[in-house]
Amino acid sequence: MKKSFLALAIILALVGYTLYTNGTLTKKEAKAEVGFYAPDFTLTGMDGKEYRLSELKKPVLINFWASWCGPCRAETPDLNRLYNKYGEKFEILAVNVTVNDKEENAKKFVHFFDMKFPILFDRTGEVAEMYQVLGFPTNIFVDKGGKIIFIANGLLPPEQLERKVQNLIGS
């Protein structure tokens, strides 16, 4: 009797532990805030490919922008320079918030600035809403583990942007 009770208690404890750890203990909480895992998304790029944030296994700078945005125009040469300098160590996902822009204008912007990193189209605005984007540019710095380490709302001076990228990639 004692052996069967002990076996039942062990089984119940293991089942309870399994349920507990598969729920709250190991679940990654995603929230568009520093210290939380970046909410996952999939968007189609200008190249026709689908890009999923969680499939990238290196640090990521998510750049929300629009073609009509003056600060975005000022920032893009700096993003290009940083991508050329550190592009093997991190990825830039340039998310055009197409719901607030025209895809044709976004493509002209990309060609004008000769952007080499993936250009994604947020046609519904869902990703911008998920990340609580209120203005452009907005830059979300995500470490290789998927956690947000910094959020920049608005234009960063070039030196500060480079320091943030160096911090992101661990230089």
- 136-158 per-position pLDDT tens digit: 999 999 999 999 999 999 999 99
120 pLDDT band, cuts 50/70/90, is: very high
The answer to whether residues 113 and 80 touch, using CB atoms and an 8 Å cutoff, is yes
End-to-end alpha-carbon separation of the chain, Å? 63
- pLDDT at 82 (0 to 100): 98
Condensed to tens digits (0 to 9), the pLDDT of residues 101-115 reads: 999 999 999 999 999
Residue 131, C-beta contacts closer than 8 angstroms, at least 6 positions apart:
32, 39, 62, 64, 138, 140
Q: What percent of the chain has pLDDT over 70?
A: 84
DSSP annotation of 53 reads: G
Q: CA-CA distance, 61 to 95, in Å (whole number)?
A: 10
pLDDT at position 122 over 80: yes
